[in-house]
Structure 1
Amino acid sequence: MKNLRRASIQKQILILATFLVILVSLVAMFTEPFIYGRNERDFQSGLFAGQAEIILDRFRAAASTQEEDAVLDSAARLGINVERFAPGSRVVGQEKVVSPSELVRHIKELLASSLATSVRRLLTGEPKSNSMVVKVDARRALIYQLPVFPAMLWLAPAVASGLLKIVIPLLLLGIFSSWLITDPLTRFAAAAKRVSMDDNDEPFQAEGASEIRSLAESLNVMRDRIQSMVEYRTKVLSAVGHDLRTPLTRLRMRAERSAEPELRRLMLADIATLTSMVDECLAYFRDPSAGEDFRKVDVSSLLQTVATDFSDTGINVTYEGPRRLAYVCKPQALTRALSNLIDNASRYATQIELTLQHRDDGGVQIRVADNGPGLTDELKAKVLEPFFKADESRQIGRKGGFGLGLPIAKGIVIKGHKGEFALLDADPSGLVVAIDLPAFEGPHTGGSDTLPGKPIPFVREPQNDRP
C-alpha cells in the first residue's frame, strides 16, 4: 500500500484499472451460479414441460376413472393445474389443441419470453395464464393451465448481475481510487492554506504520488526563498528605521531652538508624524507578539485597565464582563491590539463598549463595539490591508494615522494567539470587532501579572483604518 501511494499517478491508474478487471471477473465467477440458478426462465419452463409430459403418459396408461383421478391428484400435489377436457366442449380463447408429441415444444413456445417482453409486462401488468388442450386419444383430452412467471424473473437477474458485476465494483473502486489519489492533495492544500494564513514554519510533507512529492519539494524550496526575502526585507526596514531615529532626533533639537513659534510648531508636528510612522512600520514588520511569552493573567483586569486609561483621556469607553477571569495569553501584545482598536473606533464614534465572555472550551471572546457609521462589506476587507487609509473627510477632527492599527491587531490575534479576528455590523449602526481566543495549550509562566495593583503599562498609538 505504501509503495502504491508513492507511485506516479499514471502508474496508480494503471494498477487500479487492472485491479478492476480482476475484481469484476471474480465477482462474476462467484455470482453467476446464484443469479442464473433456479431463477433461470428456461430451467423453469423445461421443468414444467417435463412434468406435464410425465402426467400425460400416466394419464394415457390409466385403465380406469379412479386411476385417472389419482394421476390428476398427483399433478395437483406437484403444483400443476390440469383437468379433463369434457367431450364435446369447444376450444375458446387462447387454448391450443396439440398432439402428445408436440406437448413439450408448444409449452416452451408459450412460456418463452425475452427481457423486453418482461419489461413490457412489468409496466402493463401481470400476464394472464394460457391454456393448452392436449389430446390423449380419440375420446380423452387434458387441459393444462400454463404457469405464470413473474415479469421480474427476467428483469431482476439482469439488474442484479449488472449491480454486482459492474456498478458496485466500479463504485467501490472509484471511492478507493479517489481517496488514494486525492487524499494527499487534500492534505497538501490544507497545509498550503495554513502557510498562507499564518507564518507556519512547518514545511510541506512530501508524501503521496511522485508528482505530488516533487511539487511539495519545489514548494518547500520556494517557501524557504520567500521567507528569506521577507526576513531580509524586515532587517533592511528595521535598520533603516533605526538609523532614521538619529537624524529625527537632531531635527527635533534644532527645531526646538527655532526663534519662530509657528514654524517651530509645524516642524515639531512633522517630526512627530515621521517618528510615529517609523515606529508603526517597525511594529508591523517585527510582530509585537513575537518576543513575548505566554503568561497566566487576569484578562478582565487587563480589559478594565485599557478602558480606564482611555476614559481618563476623555474617550467614552465602558467595560462589560466578569470581574475576574484567568487566561493564558501575551498580555503586552493583547493590550496593544485592544488599544489600537479602541483608538481607531474613537475617531468615528462617541461611545465604545468593550465586552468579555468566557467560552466553554476555556477560551475567551472579546468584542469592541462602537456607535459609529460602520463599514461596508468592501471596506471591511480593505481596512485589514496594511497602509490602507480611507477618506479622511469623515473623521471627527482628529489627525489620521498610517493604516496599520487594524493589521497589527489582527496579526496579534491570529499569529500571536492563534485566534479569530472578524469585523461585524453593530445594531442599529456601528462596527463590532470580534476576537475569539482559544484556550492555550502549552508551557507558560506561572502567576498572574495583571491582577489589581499590578496593571500592564498602557501603550496607545494613533491609527486611521476606516472612513
Structure 2
Amino acid sequence: MKKLRSASIRTQILVLAVLLIVLVSVVAATTEPFIYGRHDKGIQIGLLAGRIERVVDQFHDARSPEEEEDARKLAASLGLPIEVRTADQTPAANIANTTSADILRSVRLALEENFQDVLHGLFEKQPEARPLVVKLDDARLLVFHLPAFPRSLWFFPAFISGILKIVIPLIVLAYVGSWLIIRPIARFAATAERASADDSLEQPFVAEGASEIRSLAASLNVMRKRILDMAEHRTRMLSSISHDLRTPLTRLRMRVERCEQPELQKKMLEDLDALDSMINESLSFLTNPLHNVPSRKVDLSSLLQTIATDFSETGVDVRYSGPRRLKYVCKPQALTRAVSNMVENASRYATQIDVELEDAGKHGIFIRISDNGPGLSDDLKARVLEPFFKADEARTAGSGSGFGLGLPTAEGIIRKGHGGTLTLRDGKPNGLVIEIHLPPFHDHGSGRLSTPSGNAAI
C-alpha cells in the first residue's frame, strides 16, 4: 500500500480501474446465483412447466376415478387450478402436447412478455391470468389456469444486480480514490494556504503522496526558498538605502538649524521630518519583521484596553468595549501595531473612536474599530488597502496625514500574520467601521480546535 501511495497518479488510477473490475467480477460471481435463482422469471417459468408436466403425467397414468382425483389433489397442492374438458370444446391451435418441450414452450408463450408490455402494465395491481390447454388423449383436455407473475419480477434482479455490481463498487472506488488521490491533494492545498500565511516555515510542502505531488512539493519548496532569499536581499538593500539616506538628511538638518531665517527654517525642518517619517514607514512596510515573531498566548482585552488608554492620554477620544478577559494566541506586537495604525488613521478624521471586542466562540473573534468621521464610498473601501493610496479627498483631511501605508500594513498583519480578514463597512448613522475577524487558534498540543477563551472544542 505504501508503494501504491507513492506511485504516480496515472498508476493509481490504473490500479483503481483494475480493482473496480475485480470487485465487480467477485460481486457478480457471488451474488447473481442467489439473485437470479430466487427472483428470475425464466427460472420461475421453468419450475411452473415442471409442475404442470408432473400433473399431466399423473393424469395420463390414472386408470380409475380415484387416481384422477389424486391427480387433482396434486394439482391443487402445487397451486395449479385445473379443469377437464372434452376435445371439441377448445380449438386445436391452442392445445399443447404432453411432451416436456411442448409444455415449456406453451408456458413461455403464455407468460413471457416483451419490454413494452411490461412497461405498459408495470403498475397494474393484478396481471390477467392466462389458461394453458394440454391434450391428455383424443377425448380429453386439461385446462391449467396459470398463476400471474408480478411484472416487477423482471426488474428486481436487474435492479439488485445493478446496485451490487455498479453502485456499491463505485462507492468503494470513490472512497479509496479520495483516500489515495484526492486526500493528498487537499492536504497539499491546505499546506499551501498555511505557507502563504506563515513566513517562518522553511519547508512547508512535505514530499509525500503520488510522484507528481512529491515533484510539485519539491519544486515549490525550491521556488519558495528563492523568493525568501530575494526578499532577504531586498530587505538588506532597503536597509542600506535607509542608512545612506539618513546621512544626507542628518547633514541637511544640521545646516537647516544654522539658518538665520526662522520661518524658512521651520518649513525646512517640517519637510525633513516628513522625509524621515516616510523613510521609516516605507522601510517598516516593506521589511515587516513582525511577521516572523512567534505567536504566544496573551490577554487580548488588556492589549486593546492599553491601546485605547495610550491614545486617550494623547487627547484622542478612544473607548473600549468587550469582555474583561479574553485569552488568545497571536503575535501581540504585530497585532498592536495593526490596531494602532487603524486607530491613528481614524483619529485624523473623527472625534470619537470605539474599539469593540467580541468573542464568537468556535467562529473566532471580532475586533471592530468604529469612528464618527465622514466614512468612505464603496469604490474607495477597496482602494485604501492599496499601498501609498490616500483617500483624503473622501474623508476630511487633517493635519499629520500619513503616507497611505497604515491600513495596508494592518491588513497584511491580520491576513498573513494571523490568517484573519479585514473588512471595511459603513458606520451608522455615519463613519467607518473596520472589522477584523481572527480565526480560533489550533491547540497543537492536544490536536483539537480551541476557542479564543482557551476552552477546547471537539
1:4 and 2:4 matched = yes
Map of 1:352 onto structure 2: 353
How far, CA to CA, are the matches of 1:268 and 1:22 in structure 2? Answer: 85
Map of 1:81 onto structure 2: 81
Map of 1:188 onto structure 2: 188
Task: Give how far 1:133 is off.
Answer: 3.0
What residue identity is the alignment partner of 1:277? Answer: M
Give the structure-2-normalised TM-score: 0.84
Q: Unmatched 5+ residue regions in structure 1?
A: 444-467
Map of 1:408 onto structure 2: 409
What residue identity is the alignment partner of 1:263? Answer: L
Task: Give how far 1:363 is off.
Answer: 7.3
How far, CA to CA, are the matches of 1:348 and 1:442 in structure 2? Answer: 42
Q: Give a deviation string over 1:173-216, Cα, whole Å, max 9, x none.
A: 24423442222222222222222234241421111221221111
How far, CA to CA, are the matches of 1:327 and 1:166 in structure 2? Answer: 51
What residue identity is the alignment partner of 2:160? Answer: A
Does the aligned pair in 2 maintain the 1:367–1:435 contact within 8 Å?
yes
Map of 1:254 onto structure 2: 255
Aligned-partner SS, 1:259: coil
1:37 and 2:42 matched = no
Task: Give how far 1:416 is off.
Answer: 4.8
How far, CA to CA, are the matches of 1:341 and 1:46 in structure 2? Answer: 87
1:333-372 superposed matches below 5 A: 333-358=334-359, 360=361, 365-372=366-373
Task: Give how far 1:436 is off.
Answer: 4.3
Does the aligned pair in 2 maintain the 1:288–1:333 contact within 8 Å?
no
> How many residues were matched structurally?
441
How far, CA to CA, are the matches of 2:35 and 2:385 in structure 1? Answer: 66
Task: Give how far 1:264 is off.
Answer: 1.6
Map of 1:204 onto structure 2: 205
Does the aligned pair in 2 maintain the 1:422–1:435 contact within 8 Å?
yes
Map of 1:311 onto structure 2: 312
Compared with structure 1, are the counterparts of its residues 258 and 116 closer, same or farther at alpha carbon in structure 2 (3 Å cutoff)? same
How far, CA to CA, are the matches of 1:152 and 1:50 in structure 2? Answer: 23
Map of 1:129 onto structure 2: 129
Compared with structure 1, are the counterparts of its residues 357 and 43 closer, same or farther at alpha carbon in structure 2 (3 Å cutoff)? closer
What residue identity is the alignment partner of 2:386? Answer: E
Task: Give how far 1:111 is off.
Answer: 2.6
Aligned-partner SS, 1:224: helix
How far, CA to CA, are the matches of 2:17 and 2:83 in structure 1? Answer: 59
What residue identity is the alignment partner of 2:278? Answer: M
Q: Give a deviation string over 1:52-71, Cα, whole Å, max 9, x none.
A: 12212322443444433332
Compared with structure 1, are the counterparts of its residues 228 and 141 closer, same or farther at alpha carbon in structure 2 (3 Å cutoff)? same
- Structure showing greater relative contact order (alpha-carbon pairs closer than 8 Å, 6 or more residues apart): 1
How far, CA to CA, are the matches of 1:103 and 1:439 in structure 2? Answer: 79
Map of 1:461 onto structure 2: none
Compared with structure 1, are the counterparts of its residues 230 and 291 closer, same or farther at alpha carbon in structure 2 (3 Å cutoff)? closer
> Identity of paired residues, percent?
53
When the two chains are superposed, the root-mean-square deviation of aligned CA atoms in Å is: 3.3
Map of 1:271 onto structure 2: 272
Compared with structure 1, are the counterparts of its residues 171 and 115 closer, same or farther at alpha carbon in structure 2 (3 Å cutoff)? farther
What residue identity is the alignment partner of 1:386? Answer: P
Map of 1:458 onto structure 2: none
How far, CA to CA, are the matches of 1:12 and 1:31 in structure 2? Answer: 28
1:151-300 superposed matches below 5 A: 151-201=151-201, 202-287=203-288, 289=290, 299-300=300-301
Compared with structure 1, are the counterparts of its residues 363 and 208 closer, same or farther at alpha carbon in structure 2 (3 Å cutoff)? closer
Does the aligned pair in 2 maintain the 1:361–1:439 contact within 8 Å?
no
